[in-house]
A = this chain, B = another copy of it.
Amino acid sequence: MRIGELAERAGVSIATIKFYIREGLLPPASKKTGRTMAFYDQAYLERLQLVRSLREEHFLPLRVIRAVLAERGARPLDRRDREILGRVAPDFLSRLAATAGTHATRAELVAGTELSSEELAMLEELGLVGADAGDGERRYDADDRALIEALQALERAGVSRDRFPLEILGHHVELLGELSRREVRTFIHNAGDLEPTELAKLAERALALVGPILALVHRKLIQRALRAELAKEKPR
């Protein structure tokens, strides 16, 4: 498509597209057929829509958009990154499993909670609670118990299940899942030449310290989301 159609379909001005190109957020054009004739394809439109959403909905500064675009998407890990992953990930995963402690059975887990069996099944289906022990039975650890307790604390504070249906956690799995993927890739990519055991230990410490950062960023963004909704209210 020509730049005019591109602009219309993305809901931005032609000047904005040229600005993004100048800033290196978009390549010059999918296909250039002359000094003034340039064509843009579907993939180009999608990238433009993404840049627009990062800019206008998430208010990211240009240099952050550049960093986000670089890390985003399905670019596979390169050989060096794969090698680091292979040496670090198993160690890291077994460290986490070790600190998650005792492995309760389903009956033991349910006994200590007010969670219905159906609710537990939902958490299992979402992959948030319980791991297959290899014998077809699930085992539950301290993280599983902590999550269930956190959900119960919400309910006890008055946020009943009809206000917070567990299906909502699907959004968390989708969006924090994508975040986790990008974090794993970034961490591996910036691993440097630390020895594998040191790297696994570092990842373990980092994971524990990222929790409070998530909570604080979320707190800010809830306020931003509310202000954005309120702003839509106002007459122009």
Residues of chain A having any CB pair with chain B under 8 Å:
54, 57-61, 63-68, 71-72, 76-77, 82, 85-86, 89-90, 92-93, 96, 122, 125-128, 143, 146-147, 150-151, 153-154, 157-159, 162-165, 167-184, 186-187, 190-192, 202, 205-207, 209-230, 232-233
Most chain B CB neighbours (cut-off 10 Å) among A71, A154, A209, A228: A209
Are B157 and A205 within 8 A (Cβ)? yes
A150-B213, A224-B177 known; A229+B184 contact, CB < 8 A: yes
The residues of B that contact A143 with a CB separation of less than 8 Å are 216, 219-220
Copies of this chain present in the complex amount to: 2
**Looking at the complex, which one of B77, B162, B192, B212 makes contact with A163 (CB distance below 8 Å)?**
B192
Q: Is the CB of B158 within 8 A of A202?
A: yes
Known A-B contacts A150-B213, A214-B218; A205 and B86 likewise in contact (beta carbons under 8 Å): no
Cβ of A215: which chain B residues have Cβ within 8 Å of it? 210-212, 214-215
Give the nearest-CB partner of A186 in chain B.
B168
Could you tell me if A213 and B154 are in contact, using CB atoms closer than 8 angstroms? yes
A207 near B184 with CB under 8 A, answer: no
- With A211-B218, A211-B219, A229-B77 given, is the CB distance from A67 to B170 under 8 Å? yes
Tell me the bound Cα distance from A64 to B172 in angstroms: 11
Bound complex: CA of A182 vs CA of B229, how far in Å? 11
- Given B63, B183, B217, which contacts A222 in the complex, CB threshold below 8 Å? B183
Q: Are A218 and B85 in contact (CB under 8 A)?
A: no
**A173 lies within 8 A of B60 (CB):** yes
11 A-B residue pairings within 8 Å (CB atoms): A59-B173, A60-B170, A61-B122, A82-B233, A90-B230, A96-B219, A154-B210, A176-B214, A177-B221, A184-B222, A215-B215
